[in-house]
A and B are shown apart, each in its own frame.
Chain A
Amino acid sequence: MMTVHAGLVAGALRTEGFWTEQSPKLGFAAIAIVVFLAVMGLVMFLADNAPRKGRDVVQLLLFVLPAMLLLAAGMIWPALSTMWQSVTSKAGEFVGLDNFVTIFTDPTGQVVLRNTLLWVVFVPLISTVVGLAYALFIDRAKGERILKSLVFMPMAISFVGASIIWGFMYTYRSEGFPQIGLLNQILVWLGMSPYQFVETPPWNTFFLLVVMAWIQTGFAMVVLSAAIKGVPAEIVEAAELDGASAWERFLHVTLPWIRGSLVVVVTTITISTLKVFDIVRTMTGGQYNTSVVANEMYTRAFRLGQPEIGAALAVVLFILVLPIVIYNIRVLRQHKETH
């Protein structure tokens, strides 16, 4: 039976000249890579054969310029342009902070900002706490490698895929009908009524951000696990001989030792959380009061035809990210000086 169906899948791919239509695309990608590498080869050839006089300068330019030009045209100029757009009207006149005022006073805008705050607080909190606990547990558990892989695996799944996976967990059927989502089935087993996890504000924001926490926990776990393994066994043993309990050892030995990694984990997850847009977009499209800044930016700029509001939201995102990054760098500096 299964083999017949496998044949059908292959058959579906064979229909209507699937490959005659699709292989040119693959060819296009292959040609693009070959041409690109050929051009880079030419660059190398030019660098090799540059006249001896000024060869270093020519080589330097050939090595650095391609990347720098792309960054200038594709990031620096666009970022400045977006900043300018955020203080202009749709018609291009300077309007000061009007767009920002719109965001902060608009009821929808306020919900968006509140949700973003919830994401930024709870995603790093949940993933770091669970990731750290898990890293500590598996440090003393059998089968460490497999256990690590299982929690780390969501990192490889796309945000879109994760949203489908959790959307399925949250699926709701009216009371009395068989539940197909695991969480509602558990509620029913416990004798409660099924609940519309995704559609009921304000808690739905929480159920959405759990998806991001689910993904990021693996990241926290891997980094913190490596840090924990760096704690010298002698110190732990010494503390143990001094009669320190497991909790005291964790608090006074392990925690200070991995502080730098903790900061990195929390800040990195915070930054990713601020930027993530796929989850809200896939699970609700921003409906039911679930939108966040990153999703709202896309919706305003590309769906509602309000690029100036979108630009202002992008700037808000930038301003939110900025202090975290600066803090991150400062803590790492201090950490390095004290070690």
Chain B
Amino acid sequence: MSAAIAPEPVVDEPSGTPSGGKAKRVKKRLTSRTATFFAIVIAALWTIPTFGLFVSSFRPDTDIANSGWWTIVTNPSFTLDNYVAVFSESGASSASLGVYFINSIVITLPATVFPITLALMAAYAFAWIPFRGSSWLFVLVFALQIVPLQMALIPLLKIFNYPWLDIGGTFPAVWIAHTIFALPLEIFLLHNFISEIPRDVMEAAKVDGANHAQIFRRVVIPLSVPAIASVAIFQFLWVWNDLLVALVFSGGTVKTAPVTQRIAEFAGTRGNDWELLTAAAFVGTIVPLIVFFSLQRYFVRGLLAGSTKG
């Protein structure tokens, strides 16, 4: 999520339990009630805001407007009306949230596939095709991570609006923008992974007469699947959750705008209609949450790789 910048390894991932019995013993001895208590308090504090939103999205609108969500304990009543409301069309100006949901999918899938493919190829070249200026160019790509997105917005929008290109406000504009902004970090992360493939494996393939394109397909891609998965999850979540790139490049119409943009719009124009806001926010959050909970291992691994492992 955060554009992590760290060139060298700092910590080792928890390396399983090398001496399982001993580790367990230590852990057991250290388990303390006070620690557990404070941990649970913090966990509760961190979870309550999300829980309140989730509960509220299922309460009738009059209840939401007149009582707090915690009153469900004494006065439970639930409905799906809010979800029906956000998914129905009420006039031309407010299309169903479903349309924006589709837009999010249409934006996110290509914007995840494109940069990873290009970054994989570039990363392979930097790692295994020796050429003059290779390390210099790689440092330049690495350094581009520090350029804030904001530096590129205005000129890139201008380029997209040139008469010979004229893609401002379309899906391809959003795809290309996301692809470009993702490349520096993805090339960097994948390079770290690919460059650690044992030299013997590469040499063996070369001896068999494989050229770079063949090695890339038959050796590098299959071996890089875990790294690709981590990077893909990050990019997917980043794009799905993005607001800035969408605002600038999607044009903001119902044809292209993603869910995040729609919810931000709701917050601005209908900031007091909590029955809509809670349901809409939950619709926008459900996909990242599913991805997060089902692929948490890859997510954490990618995070550690991006921020500390290098």
Which residues of B lie under 8 Å from residue A82 when comparing CB positions? Answer: 151-152, 154-155
Give residues 138-153 of B contacting A (CB, 8 Å): 141, 144-153
When the two chains form their complex, are residues B2 and A159 in contact, meaning their CB atoms are under 8 A apart?
no
| Stretch from B42-50, B197-205, B224-232 that touches the partner | B42-50
The distance in angstroms between the C-alpha atoms of A74 and B180, with both chains bound, is: 6
Closest residue of B by beta carbon distance from A303: B247
Which residues of B lie under 8 Å from residue A153 when comparing CB positions? Answer: 46-47, 50, 289, 292
Give residues 62-101 of B contacting A (CB, 8 Å): 64-70, 78-81, 83-84, 87-89, 96, 98-99
- Contact A157:B308 (CB < 8 A) given known A71-B180, A75-B147, A226-B14: no
Other-chain residue from B36, B53, B156, B278 in contact with A141 (beta carbon distance below 8 A): B36
When the two chains form their complex, are residues B308 and A67 in contact, meaning their CB atoms are under 8 A apart?
no
Interface size on B, residues (CB 8 A): 140
When the two chains form their complex, are residues A222 and B56 in contact, meaning their CB atoms are under 8 A apart?
no
Smallest Cβ distance from A58 to chain B, in angstroms? 10
Does A238 touch B at the CB level, under 8 Å?
no
Chain A 33-69 near chain B by CB (<8 Å), digits 1 or 0: 1001100100010011000000110011011101110
Smallest Cβ distance from A217 to chain B, in angstroms? 7
The distance in angstroms between the C-alpha atoms of A160 and B285, with both chains bound, is: 10
Chain A 1-43 near chain B by CB (<8 Å), digits 1 or 0: 1100110110011011010011001101100110011001000
Does A307 touch B at the CB level, under 8 Å?
yes
The distance in angstroms between the C-alpha atoms of A314 and B96, with both chains bound, is: 35
| Stretch from A89-97, A102-110, A164-172 that touches the partner | A164-172
When the two chains form their complex, are residues B150 and A18 in contact, meaning their CB atoms are under 8 A apart?
no
When the two chains form their complex, are residues A281 and B125 in contact, meaning their CB atoms are under 8 A apart?
no
The distance in angstroms between the C-alpha atoms of A302 and B157, with both chains bound, is: 11
Which residues of B lie under 8 Å from residue A315 when comparing CB positions? Answer: 151
When the two chains form their complex, are residues A158 and B11 in contact, meaning their CB atoms are under 8 A apart?
no
Give residues 307-332 of A contacting B (CB, 8 Å): 307, 310-311, 313-315, 317-318, 321-322, 325, 328-329, 332
Other-chain residue from B141, B214, B285 in contact with A158 (beta carbon distance below 8 A): B285
- Contact A73:B172 (CB < 8 A) given known A29-B110, A142-B31: no
When the two chains form their complex, are residues A79 and B213 in contact, meaning their CB atoms are under 8 A apart?
no
Smallest Cβ distance from B234 to chain A, in angstroms? 10
Give residues 180-216 of B contacting A (CB, 8 Å): 180-181, 183-184, 187, 211-214, 216
Does A271 touch B at the CB level, under 8 Å?
yes
Other-chain residue from B145, B150, B179, B211 in contact with A59 (beta carbon distance below 8 A): B211
Other-chain residue from A226, A278, A322 in contact with B304 (beta carbon distance below 8 A): A226
List the 9 shortest-distance A-B pairs measured between CB atoms, nearest first. A158-B241, A74-B180, A5-B80, A156-B292, A78-B155, A47-B213, A260-B10, A63-B125, A78-B152
* A residues neighboring B (CB under 8 Å): 1-2, 5-6, 8-9, 12-13, 15-16, 18, 21-22, 25-26, 28-29, 32-33, 36-37, 40, 44, 47-48, 55-56, 59-60, 62-64, 66-68, 70-71, 73-79, 81-83, 85, 130, 133-134, 136-143, 147, 149-161, 163-169, 171, 178-182, 185, 214, 216-219, 222-223, 226-227, 229-230, 233, 258, 260-261, 264-265, 267-269, 271-272, 274-275, 277-278, 281-283, 285, 294, 297-298, 301-302, 307, 310-311, 313-315, 317-318, 321-322, 325, 328-329, 332-333, 335-336
List 18 interface pairs A-B (beta carbons < 8 Å), by A numbering.
A29-B106, A40-B121, A48-B213, A63-B125, A70-B176, A78-B151, A82-B154, A147-B43, A149-B293, A153-B292, A159-B243, A169-B49, A180-B68, A217-B46, A260-B11, A268-B4, A301-B154, A333-B8
* B residues neighboring A (CB under 8 Å): 1-14, 22-23, 26-27, 30-32, 35-36, 38-40, 42-43, 46-50, 52-53, 56, 64-70, 78-81, 83-84, 87-89, 96, 98-99, 102-103, 105-106, 109-110, 113-114, 117-119, 121-122, 124-126, 129, 131, 137, 141, 144-156, 159, 171-172, 175-177, 179-181, 183-184, 187, 211-214, 216-217, 237, 240-244, 247-248, 260, 263-264, 267-268, 271, 274, 277-278, 280-281, 284-285, 288-289, 291-293, 296, 299-300, 303-304, 307-308, 310
